Amino acid sequence: MDGGLEPIPSMGALGASQVLATSGPAPGRRSRSMTRAFRHDPVMLRECLDSLAVRPGATVVDGTVGGGGHAEAILEASAPDGRLLGLDVDDEALAHARERLRRFGERVMLLRASFRELDRQRALAGFGPLDGVLLDLGVSSHELDSPERGFGFAADPDAPLDMRMDRRAPETAATLLARASERELARWLLEAGELPGAARLARAIVRARERAPLRTSGDLVRVVRESGVGRGRRHHPATLVFQALRIVVNDELGALDEGLGQALDATQPGARIVVLSYHSLEDRRVKQRFRDEERGCTCPPRVPVCVCGRRPRLRVLTRKPVRPSEPGARPSPKSIRPGAIASSTRNCSATCSAE
């Protein structure tokens, strides 16, 4: 699933729907949630800058530019002539990032695209090999604070089950729940939500949708509650359910796998790749990919001489997750997980240096 991305054929053909640079908001594109104050407090900002080792003149891609907080700091650190390419699939986030980063002029370019296309978008935008890549994974506070986006369940039980980060994508959480088989639902809930009782909840969802479509967050929360799944847990039982659906709707793990490969293809020797993760699914994936790329050779131990030809592509710089160094660096509770439940930190999963 590619999230409904529109291809960008060439720089000369880039239109307003793809390039969001330093001009004002596109006419007629202001939605109800865009009138709400856009809140974006960059998570672990100092740690990200230190890990990226941004220097004057550096060329960096922020693959999840959001409201532009990290991008702003990177542009300041890379002054006077550093350049930044910001990618995001959320049109509202890009509109606000454009305003925040307007003062940097031609040093910044913003594109509505997924970081799973990072290397392609870098080349089409005219950027050479990169000095750094930042990926800040997961859902944003602004998306959670916008009930009409459907990412949370605490604020408004009548919120639609949407959950699309890219609203050009054809399938919402509601359509996914309506068409998926019981087996598919159970697998998603188990693999993307790590939910105990996934099979039981999948059966409950199928029974419930036979009576009436599940269209709102309240509809789904009611099914979760009646199924008894997650009862007695510290967190609201629907938290992992909403996480799983969001991950599947946006193909977040598939995008992460592709994006890490794209980041390696786009960077030059000595470049830094920094990934901020929300939860263990992302964290494990990033660490395993970095370990594999650092090892290079995939030949079995019993083979005395390498025959696969794979060489190490990077060196891992952080063997353990980097955590906030000061209380002010900690994220707000709503930036951690779907719904109103907070965990304590958001980890810098791994930093690597391309070989």
Give the chain's mean pLDDT.
81
Predicted model pTM: 0.82
Is residue 285, in this structure, part of any structural domain at all? yes
Positive or negative, the CA dihedral 349, 342, 249, 151 is: negative
- Mean pLDDT is highest, among 5-9, 147-151, 248-252, 333-337, for 248-252
Nearest to 85 by CA among 41, 45, 118: 118
DSSP bridge partners of 130 = 267
Residue with tokens 């060489």: 311
* DSSP assigned state of 320: S
Output b/e per residue, 72-98; b: 16+ Cβ within 10 A: bbbbebbeeebbbbbbbbbbbbbbbbb
Are residues 225 and 138 located together in one domain of the fold? no
- What is the structure's pLDDT at 38? 61
The residue segments making up the domain with residue 219 are 170-249
Segment 188-221, tens digit of pLDDT: 999 999 999 999 999 999 999 999 999 999 999 9
Q: Which residue has the higher pLDDT, 331 or 82?
A: 82
- What is the structure's pLDDT at 207? 98
Asked if residue 148 lies in contact with residue 159, where contact means CB atoms within 8 angstroms, the answer is yes
Are residues 258 and 231 located together in one domain of the fold? no
Asked if residue 76 lies in contact with residue 47, where contact means CB atoms within 8 angstroms, the answer is no
Are residues 26 and 136 located together in one domain of the fold? yes
Q: Is the pLDDT of residue 26 over 70?
A: no
Identify the CATH number of the domain in which residue 228 sits: 1.10.150.170
Identify the CATH number of the domain in which residue 15 sits: 3.40.50.150
Q: How many domains does the chain have?
A: 2
Strand ranges (DSSP E) for 206-336? 267-277, 314-316
Q: What CA–CA distance (Å, rounded) separates 303 from 323?
A: 39
